[in-house]
Structure 1
Amino acid sequence: MLDVTFYHNPDCGTSRNTLALIRHAGVEPQVIEYLKTPPTKGVLQDLIARMGMTVRDAMRERGTPFKDLGLDDATLTDDDLLDAMMVHPILINRPIVVTPDRVKLCRPSETVLDLLSSVPPGDFHKDDGTAFLTDERIEPGPELVDALMATHLLVDDLQGADRTFFRFRLLGGDVIGYGGFELYGRDVLLRSMAVGPEHRGKGIGRNMALLLMSRAFDEGGRQAYALTTTAAPFFERIGFRPLDRANAPASIAATRQAAGLCPSSATLLTRRITL
């Protein structure tokens, strides 16, 4: 059986869901409630390095004293930030999952599947009732084109080295949607998000967007953008805010969608990508 160590905060929904998914896969991890038993500074530093993250990226801001402690000061060193995490373990983002080969901050919960040897059998749901998803990279072929055309989304700009697309399934195997992003350094344009008609209104779109942003984060993306004529309320519900298109970074303004394919009436929205 896979040897897994799980740094857990039972008050965190993402942490609870990730632990439930690991157990659904038939694995019983060693659970460490890190608020009660925090890792040493050296262990935490090693975990962050093995995750391939910066110390700042591994810090949690929401629901913590991050702002009150002035930790948004860009002049603080990694050592300063680690010291703050030792005094206030709530600043350690969660859940951190450790296997013999990898360490990963599993946000959203589905990303723990990257560490497991197989996808758990059968559909499974989070504690808010939304379904767990799997994602797989696909080429922008006829399958994607048909799905996007069925939902009246753009198909004229699918080709390009900076574009990545995914097929999303329930754990039981049913295809429920598609999505992708264009990556330009730290800037990410979310695009081509299509959910099958029978799966709408079930939180699938939100979970897809979070997975897409997590995948973009792994590749260096830190600021997400979206252009839409109809879905601005959806993006605002997941933390995006409208941005005047005149203030778009050059990388986003130069995309085919922003430069001409989307009408001038399309809303541009943005949010910072954090895990």
Structure 2
Amino acid sequence: MAVTIYHNPDCGTSRNTLKLVRHFGIDPQVIEYVKTPPSRDVLAAILAKAGLTPRDVVRKKGTPYADLGLASAGDDALLDAMIAHPILINRPLVVTDEAAALCRPSDIVLDLLPVMTGTDAFKEEGVSFLRDVPIPPSHPGLIAALKDEALPTDDLGEPNRTFYVYRSLAGAVLGYGGYELYGADVFLRSVVVTPDGRGKRIGRNLVPLLLYRAYRQGARTAWLLTNTAADFFEKIKFQRRPRSEAPQAILATRQAQSLCPSSAVLLSKTISF
């Protein structure tokens, strides 16, 4: 299949995405877009194909975003700025004949490729690439994993829940996760790494995938409650919050109302890629 990757070799996520595409025997067209930026029309077409806005793909860190005063810029101004300063284009953008995506995290490129089984592959940092697959709340593996960790299962079948299983490329089950979506706020829940995945930094890669799925459904701020994993979530940029700062929809969840102990720590994070 034809694959084009708008690549920045200085970016670890971009390098990992390219590695994963090549792992399946695909030789993509690689465009180092900082040196050879796309035209305005081409970039606009890629974003339309991916279902993204210029705001979704503008990069702030390490760019002239603030100096150019782009915080309140509209789509046209953002597109103009990204063409004039291609470092503003987040990376990597991957395009096939059928679809396109901003592959952050790099595992997202699997959405664009044929479903292929094979040997495991690992990111530069040594962690396994993950394939996330939607599952029903009645999934026996999910229920068993949550019970093993004494995490709530009583409300799994209620409305507004989305769950995933996370597997290695060879098919090993490495974790589960889910969320409840409330407009621009999302409540992360049921996040657990299986025994086969522990000590392998799976959680650090599972959570960004979960946030990506929620973001594509409109979420912009993530919330969670935990009685045991606050330190882990703080390491991946979540911040502790008093419950008085949480939106009412989050405070009204079953977990906040009754299933999590009052001692559980509330954390939140603005979702960005």
2:239 to 232, 238, 241: 241
Q: Structure 1 CA distance, aligned partners of 2:199 and 2:63?
A: 31
Alpha-carbon deviation of 1:197? 2.2
AA aligned to 1:132 is F
Is residue 90 of structure 2 the alignment partner of residue 77 of structure 1?
A: no
- Partner residue of 2:263 out of 239, 262, 265: 265
> Aligned equivalents of 2:123 and 2:189: distance in 1?
25
Q: For 2:266 and 2:69, how far apart are their aligned partners in 1? A: 31
Deviation at 1:65, TM superposition (A): 2.1
How far apart are residue 148 of structure 1 and its match?
A: 0.3
Report Cα offsets for 1:130-173 as digits up to 9, x if no partner: 11111111111232111100011111111123111111111111
1:124 alignment counterpart? 121
Partner residue of 1:230 out of 228, 235, 245:
228
Structure 1 counterpart SS, 2:54:
coil
Whether 2:161 is the aligned partner of 1:183: answer no
Matched-pair contact (CA < 8 Å) for 2:173–2:196: no
**Cα shift at 1:83:** 1.5
CA deviation vs aligned residue, 1:57-109 (integer Å, no higher than 9, x gap): 11112222222322212xx2211111211221111011111111101111111
Q: Is there any run of 5+ residues in structure 2 with no aligned partner, and where? A: none
Could you tell me which residue of structure 2 aligns to residue 211 of structure 1?
209
**Match of 1:160, SS?**
coil
Q: Say if 2:117 and 2:169, in contact at 8 Å, map to a contact too.
A: yes
- Match of 2:148? 150
Shift of 1:259: 1.6
Gap regions ≥5 residues in structure 1: none
Cα displacement string for residues 180-227 of structure 1 (whole angstroms, at most 9, x for unaligned residues): 111111111111011112421211001110110011111111111111
Distance 1:237 1:63 in 2: 21
**How far 1:258 moved relative to its partner?**
1.1
Which secondary structure state, in structure 2, belongs to the residue aligned with residue 149 of structure 1?
helix
1:270 is aligned with what amino acid? S
Residue equivalent to 1:4: 3
Equivalent residues of 1:188, 1:225 under 8 A apart = yes
Aligned to 1:93: 90
Kept after mapping to 2: 8 A contact 1:106/1:112: yes
Q: Percent identity?
A: 56
Alignment of 1:61-76 (within 5 A): 61-73=60-72, 76=73
Spell out the pairing of 1:131-170 with structure 2 (5 A cutoff).
131-141=128-138, 142-170=140-168
Amino acid at match of 2:149: T
Offset at residue 118 of structure 1 (A) = 2.4
Q: Secondary structure at the residue paired with 2:76?
A: helix
Aligned counterpart, 2:22 = 23
Match of 1:43 in 2: 42
Contact 1:25 1:120 in 2 (8 A): no
User: What is the CA distance between 1:120 and its match in structure 2?
Assistant: 5.0
- SS of the residue corresponding to residue 141 of structure 2 reads helix
> Aligned pair count?
272
In 2, Cα distance between equivalents of 1:120 and 1:5: 22
CA RMSD of aligned residues (A): 1.1
Say whether the 8 Å CA contact 1:113–1:119 is kept in structure 2: no
Alpha-carbon contact 1:179-1:212 (below 8 Å) kept: yes
Contact 1:24 1:120 in 2 (8 A): no
CA distance in 1, matches of 2:97, 2:155: 41
Per-residue deviation at 1:24?
A: 0.3
In the TM superposition, what is the alpha-carbon distance from 1:29 to its structure 2 partner?
Answer: 0.6
Deviations 1:239-271, CA, capped at 9 Å, x for gaps? 111111111011111111112211221111111
